[in-house]
Amino acid sequence: MTDIYSQQKRNKFVTILLMFSFFVFALIVGFAVDVYMNGGLRAISLPVFTAAAAVLAAVNGMVSYFYGAGIVLHSLGATALDFTNPKHKTLHNVVTEMCIASGMPMPKVYVIADPAPNAFAAGRNPQNASVGVTEGLLDIMSRDELQAVIAHELGHVKSRDILTMTFVTVLLGTVSLLSDWAIRAWRYGGVRTRRKSGIPALIMLFIGLFVLVSPIVSRIMAMAISRNREYQADVSSAEFTRNPGALASALSKISGVSSPLKGARRGTAHLFISDPLRRKIDDREGFVADILSTHPPIERRIERLQKMAYIYSRQVKK
């Protein structure tokens, strides 16, 4: 495991690389649509979709940086704390305690009115971070378990995972929108049959398929980024609380509830401590699971935390 500062530097680099990659990918999708719609390279008089992709990617990149967290919070139906509610008071106290333990500034705290236990973090940096939990999480967690979950989310904040993951959430919609535009254009406007460029029909078919599957490709990119970060945030939780067994217990309780989070979507699933859609693929290992799952298997995470708990207990006894 790398230290938190090395991870911060790495995440900054990954975020810049990711922003550039998504921008280029969006341009490729737009250009592919132009080629396919016009029947070849030479038939393109005005690259409308390429220009639209560039503008859309640039605008969405800026929006994701400055307003991404707000978009995510709104999409999830998150609301501010109600301090007349004892559970909300406890949550605020726990967040304050974990901020002190982790040396982090106080984030904005939100609650989602949903019985499925889960938690998430969003924002662009520790000074502009938001942490949210569901009512279901507050209902079933002990104080130690709640501390561990909040510490996990603050681990994402401190390592600056949140900018990358919030950025991914917004830009996933960019590629999906481009693909949707292409499908609608083909359906209602047709495709030119000219082949002045000499591009074989098979290649044109490949270009069309690439545009259609581009949302899936972009989502796989996002999932690959998400999985490894969960392990590191688990380690951060153990460091902040000195109680890895509490997070193991919390994850066990979360995995025991099969109902999905109602407001969650595929585009925001990677933000949560556990897959809010409750897909079986996240419980599996192997090549297919590594490609399609947003989180590593909870059983594996619990196993790692229990090993850490054993090491901590041995150190305390000494």
Other CB atoms within a 10 A radius of the CB of residue 299 amount to: 13
- Residue 190 corresponds to which tokens in the numbers above? 């047709």
- Say which of 97, 135, 145, 153 is annotated catalytic: 153
Residue corresponding to tokens 């000074």: 127
Collapsing DSSP to helix, strand or coil, 3 comes out as coil
Between strands 129-134 and 108-112, the pairing is parallel
Determine the Cα–Cα distance for residues 11 and 271; give it in Å rounded to an integer: 15
- CB neighbours of residue 272 within 10 Å: 25
Q: How far apart are CA 65 and CA 86, in angstroms?
A: 34
Q: What is the 3-state secondary structure (H, E, C) of 240-293?
A: HHCCHHHHHHHHHHHHCCCCCCCCCCCCCHHHECCCCCCCHHHHCCCHHHHHHC
Specify whether the CB–CB gap between 136 and 117 falls below 8 A.
yes
Please give the full DSSP string across 35-83, using - where no structure is assigned: HHHHTSSTT-SS-HHHHHHHHHHHHHHHHHHHHHHHHHHHHHT-EE--T
| Residue 285: active-site member | no
| Residue 274 near residue 118 (C-beta atoms within 8 A) | yes
Catalytic residue set: 153
